[in-house]
């Protein structure tokens, strides 16, 4: 798939999703000025069994995610999906390895991301999500999040605005992320409930708590020994 340069809404499969996307993937890089995602820029419907691997970039004051830029409220869940590309944004941006902004009532389950997330000054940056006011369940990230002066940076989510209990069994890799402080799963709340930091070895030693073995698997020659989705396994490596 070729690279994509878009405007306000840009994604490897769709700039805006108002229906549903299933069993789809995108491999090209995506560059836009507003809401940008490796698969979808602005998501308003269910996304299932999808992945994106391209690098994502967006300007100042906007949001971007490795799979979805903005997961809008009541959009239907994003499930069984992953993203591996790096995500970069300017100042005052929302940047996440998987999703830039998971809006009110937005739900993401059984998903993971591995790409770095880089934001500018006064940004929200997380290994999995830049900003969250929705729900996460059974998800993890391994990418390194970083930001400049005034940025909220968390191993899993940059800024969590959701009520307590909206995050369940969410994890980040304390080795590969560069965030070893176990209290920094969220950039704005110390010891945010539902987020747990694990080392690479711990993530490779068995499925994390809450991960359903009917959905997730582990194998030394798949995904670097880390949990992967049985429905859409990444390529094997000898």
- Per-residue pLDDT, 90: 95
Residue 45, C-beta contacts closer than 8 angstroms, at least 6 positions apart:
17, 18, 19, 20, 21, 75, 76
- Per-residue pLDDT, 4: 72
Rounded Cα distance between 174 and 17, Å, is 33
**Does a structural domain hold residue 224?**
no
Closest-CA residue to 40 (of 1, 72, 62) = 72
**Does a structural domain hold residue 169?**
yes
**Does a structural domain hold residue 49?**
yes
Instruction: Report the DSSP beta bridge partners of residue 170.
Output: 139, 195
Q: What is the dihedral of CA 110, 227, 26, 158, to 10 degrees?
A: 60
| Total-model pTM | 0.96
Question: Do 83 and 51 touch, CB atoms closer than 8 A?
Answer: yes
- Per-residue pLDDT, 3: 76
**Does a structural domain hold residue 206?**
no
List alpha helices for 79-237, DSSP H. 200-204
The stretches in the chain having pLDDT less than 70 are 1-2, 6, 237-238
Rounded Cα distance between 40 and 57, Å, is 13
**Does a structural domain hold residue 72?**
yes
Range of the domain at 57: 4-200
Rounded Cα distance between 89 and 108, Å, is 22
**Does a structural domain hold residue 215?**
no
Q: How confident is the model over 9-31, as pLDDT tens digits? A: 999 999 999 999 999 999 999 99
Number of domains into which the chain is organized: 1
- Per-residue pLDDT, 8: 84
- Per-residue pLDDT, 235: 78
Separation in Å, CA 149 to CA 58, 86, 117, 173: 18, 20, 15, 24
**Does a structural domain hold residue 235?**
no
**Does a structural domain hold residue 221?**
no
- Per-residue pLDDT, 237: 58
Q: Other C-beta atoms within 10 Å of 102: how many?
A: 35
């Amino acid at each position: 798939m070729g690279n994509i340069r878009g405007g306000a809404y840009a994604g490897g499969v769709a700039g805006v999703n108002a229906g549903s996307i299933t069993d789809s993937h995108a491999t090209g890089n995506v560059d836009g000025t507003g809401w940008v995602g490796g698969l979808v820029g602005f998501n308003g419907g269910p996304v299932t069994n999808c992945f994106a691997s391209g690098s994502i970039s967006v300007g100042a004051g906007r949001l971007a995610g490795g799979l979805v830029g903005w997961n809008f409220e009541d959009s239907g869940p994003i499930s069984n999906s992953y993203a591996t590309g790096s995500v970069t944004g300017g100042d005052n941006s929302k940047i996440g390895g998987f999703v830039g902004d998971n809006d009110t009532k937005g739900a993401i389950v059984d998903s993971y991301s591995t790409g770095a997330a880089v934001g500018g000054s006064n940004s929200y940056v997380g290994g999995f999500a830049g900003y969250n006011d929705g729900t996460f369940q059974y998800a993890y990230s391994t990418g390194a999040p970083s930001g400049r002066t005034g940025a909220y940076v968390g191993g899993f989510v940059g800024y969590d605005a959701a009520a307590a209990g909206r995050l369940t069994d969410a994890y980040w890799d304390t080795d590969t992320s560069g965030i070893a402080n176990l209290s920094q799963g969220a950039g704005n709340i110390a010891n945010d409930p539902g987020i747990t930091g694990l080392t690479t070895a711990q993530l490779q030693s068995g499925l994390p708590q809450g991960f359903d073995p009917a959905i997730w698997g582990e194998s030394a020659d798949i995904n670097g020994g880390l949990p992967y989705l049985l429905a859409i396994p990444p390529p094997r490596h000898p």
